Amino acid sequence: MISILIPVFNYDITLLVEQIYKQAKTALIEFEILLADDASTDEKTKNKNQDVSKLEYVHVFSFQENRGRTFTRNFLAGKAKFATLLFLDADVLPKDSSFLIRFLEHHNKADLIFGGIVYTEEKPENNKILRWKYGKHREAKSVEIRIKNPYISIISGAIFIQKDLFLSTNKEMKNLYGLDSVFVENLRKEKAKVLHIDNPVIHLGLETNSEFLQKTISALDALIKLEKKSLVSLDYRPVQKAYLKLESSKMRKIFIFLYKIFEKMIEKNLLSKNPSLFYFDLFKLNYYCKIKMNSDHDSI
């Protein structure tokens, strides 16, 4: 009845599998749990994760080279024997013991169901505050807020979706960070019926401040490439909309000049134990402006 699919890279998924397995058995449904290890380099964790394959209906696949989350998800979807899929990132846990049942109760109401994402109230280590703060204030949204922008509010770390729809919308296979933008854009183009409910996962995996900034840069680089290929619209993300406002008001170069004056102060703050999300937005906008200008120049 449902295939539960979990891409894995250097993360201990034993507790997640244990919890979702217990929920599936309690629900008295046909199910399978498929995991794909994307060439993890942490051998201790990788070997520990192999133990879950001892459970009935659980299978672990392993790649010899890193292929990226988009490829891994497509691989798992292709292996799934059921028409209904539940994708879970390795670093999440269901918030509620009825997490799986709540999805199943709504399974015939939409093509894709998203239950939301939350973060722990307890602050993490000082060097992980930026990712935690961003998650709490930008990703953890109520149902009422999510339904106002049903597509862009989707975070693919925990989605309940029909197999045919997933395979038709998750086409971009390159190993780039930030390809969820293409997936969501394709859902919008397909006019897929999206249902938002109150059924969140807790996001546990947090990068350090510096790692998160580097991932942000990688995502912005990927966004430019996706724009060039017309795979995402030019006003899909808030940073794109802010850029378009600067461009229309002829303030782009002035913004970059002013940012340069405060650059060291801003980046010092973002690496501190009390980072500002406003500064983080400026950091993203400045980088996007610069690569956008370079991209425009290259196309001349």
Q: 271-294, pLDDT tens digit by residue?
A: 999 999 999 999 999 999 999 887
How far is Cα 166 from Cα 78, in angstroms, rounded to an integer?
Answer: 10
- The CA–CA distances, whole Å, from 99 to 19, 49, 102, 248 equal 10, 22, 5, 46
Q: Is 102 helix (H, G, I), strand (E, B) or coil?
A: helix
pLDDT in tens, 36-67: 999 999 999 999 999 999 999 999 999 999 98
Section 215-232 average pLDDT? 90
What's the token pair of residue 283?
A: 């950091």
* Predicted local confidence at residue 294, as pLDDT: 79
Residue among 297, 292, 215, 197 at smallest CA distance from 246? 292
pTM of the full structure: 0.91
Which helix (H) or strand (E) segment holds residue 201: the answer is strand 201-203
What's the token pair of residue 140?
A: 């953890």
Section 93-121 average pLDDT? 95
Q: Between 228 and 116, where is the model more confident?
A: 116
How far is Cα 6 from Cα 86, in angstroms, rounded to an integer?
Answer: 9
Interacting residues of 195 by C-beta distance below 8 A, sequence separation 6+? 106, 109, 110, 112, 113, 114
* Predicted local confidence at residue 293, as pLDDT: 83
- Per-residue pLDDT for 204 more than 50? yes
Question: pLDDT above 70 covers what percent of the chain?
Answer: 96
Lowest average pLDDT, out of 143-147, 233-237, 246-250, 292-296, goes to: 292-296
* Predicted local confidence at residue 173, as pLDDT: 62
Section 164-173 average pLDDT? 85
**Strand partners for 158:** 88
Q: Determine the straight-line distance between the first and last CA of the chain, rounded to whole angstroms.
A: 53
| DSSP state letter for 183 | H
How far is Cα 34 from Cα 23, in angstroms, rounded to an integer?
Answer: 15
Compute φ and ψ for 60, nearest 5 degrees: -115, 125
Lowest average pLDDT, out of 159-163, 180-184, 202-206, goes to: 180-184
Compute φ and ψ for 4, nearest 5 degrees: -100, 120
User: Could you give the dihedral angle defined by the CA atoms of residues 90, 91, 93 and 99, in that order, rounded to the nearest 10 degrees?
Assistant: -50
What's the token pair of residue 249?
A: 């008001």
Provide the total of helices (H) and of strands (E) in the chain, helices listed first. Answer: 12, 10
Report all structural domains of the chain as residue ranges with CATH numbers, in order of start. Answer: 2-203 (3.90.550.10), 209-298 (no CATH)
Task: Give the mean pLDDT of the chain.
Answer: 93
Q: For helices 277-298 and 252-270, what crossing angle results, to 10°? A: 130
- Per-residue pLDDT for 207 more than 70? yes
Instruction: Answer whether 183's CB lies under 8 Å from 169's CB.
Output: yes
**Strand partners for 94:** 201
pLDDT in tens, 109-161: 999 999 999 999 999 999 999 999 999 999 999 999 999 999 999 998 999 99
Instruction: Answer whether 68's CB lies under 8 Å from 39's CB.
Output: no
* Predicted local confidence at residue 300, as pLDDT: 39
Binned at pLDDT 50, 70 and 90, residue 176 comes out as low
Binned at pLDDT 50, 70 and 90, residue 179 comes out as confident
- Per-residue pLDDT for 215 more than 80? yes
- Per-residue pLDDT for 165 more than 90? yes
CA angle 272–278–284, rounded 5-degree value:
90
- Per-residue pLDDT for 299 more than 70? no
Output b/e per residue, 214-246; b: 16+ Cβ within 10 A. Answer: eebbebbbbbeebbeeebbeeebbebbebbeeb
How far is Cα 281 from Cα 215, in angstroms, rounded to an integer?
Answer: 14
